A and B are shown apart, each in its own frame.
Chain A
Amino acid sequence: QQQVKQSPQSLIVQKGGISIINCAYENTAFDYFPWYQQFPGKGPALLIAIRPDVSEKKEGRFTISFNKSAKQFSLHIMDSQPGDSATYFCAARGEGSTLGRLYFGRGTQLTVWP
């Protein structure tokens, strides 16, 4: 069973536009929600992360919006650039005996056209 559901699977955005990727989860015990960015042939790298006691976090052009009651969170990329073209993964962290383990969404392949 997929613990974190991510959509869309692929996204095409024009340069300067806004890219929005959505994720949903069921387990209310999750306590940390990171987004990772991955370029082809490389390992993922942390982009931005949020805890459930905060509704929004912004770092430069990247913003996470978090809705605890709806158990949803999303990544917004403002002024999208061709260099943002990559695969993005949302994730959620377990707790207790699985402390530190991340449950990943299936990924969104973002293409930004110049």
Chain B
Amino acid sequence: DGGITQSPKYLFRKEGQNVTLSCEQNLNHDAMYWYRQDPGQGLRLIYYSQIVNDFQKGDIAEGYSVSREKKESFPLTVTSAQKNPTAFYLCASRDRGGNEQFFGPGTRLTVL
């Protein structure tokens, strides 16, 4: 099955710890995106990458970092510098010539 997988589905973290969220796609898409979703806030863009080894900050990149070493993988690290990390995180991908962004199932991060 082609698609986007995110793991884990639920993640709990203690304050002050870094945590990495996984996003893998087997759609052979060039572009990948990370969004954060909070109630009533819509989807806010954290980082995006249009090709391997290149990525750009979105609107709320502070406290987050990413890497794009492989086309199929775009992991997001939530660092201890992110002041309010509890949220639902969504990864998406898009084919170079396509319009649609395909979303993964999301990871719900809770900071204890």
What residues of chain A have their CB less than 8 Å away from a CB belonging to chain B? 6, 9, 32, 34, 36, 41-46, 49, 89, 93, 99-102, 104-107
Asked whether A106 lies within 8 Å of B105 as measured between CB atoms, the reply is no
A16 to B5, CA, bound (A): 36
- The reply to whether A43 and B101 contact each other, CB–CB distance below 8 Å, is no
CB-defined A-B contacts under 8 Å, sample of 25:
A34-B99, A34-B100, A36-B103, A41-B106, A42-B106, A43-B103, A43-B105, A44-B43, A44-B103, A45-B103, A46-B100, A49-B99, A49-B100, A93-B99, A99-B50, A101-B33, A101-B48, A101-B58, A102-B43, A102-B45, A102-B101, A104-B42, A104-B43, A106-B42, A107-B40
Q: Which residues of B contact A89 (CB under 8 A)?
A: 42-43
What residue in chain A is nearest B103 (Cβ atoms)? A43
Which 9 pairs, one residue from A and one from B, show the smallest C-beta to C-beta distance?
Answer: A43-B103, A106-B42, A104-B43, A104-B42, A46-B100, A44-B103, A43-B105, A107-B42, A100-B31
Query: In whole angstroms, how far apart are the Cα atoms of A36 and B99 in the complex?
Result: 13
Please report the number of residue pairs spanning A and B whose Cβ atoms sit closer than 8 angstroms. Answer: 52
CB distance from A33 to the nearest CB of B (A): 10
B68 at the interface (CB under 8 A from A): no
B4 / chain A contacts, CB cutoff of 8 Å: 43
Asked if B41 CB lies within 8 Å of chain A CBs, one says yes
The interface bits of chain B over 1-14 (1 if a CB of A lies within 8 angstroms of the residue's CB, else 0) are 00010000000000
Q: Which residues of the other chain, A, contact B41 by a CB distance below 8 angstroms?
A: 106
Is B66 interfacial (CB 8 A cutoff)? no
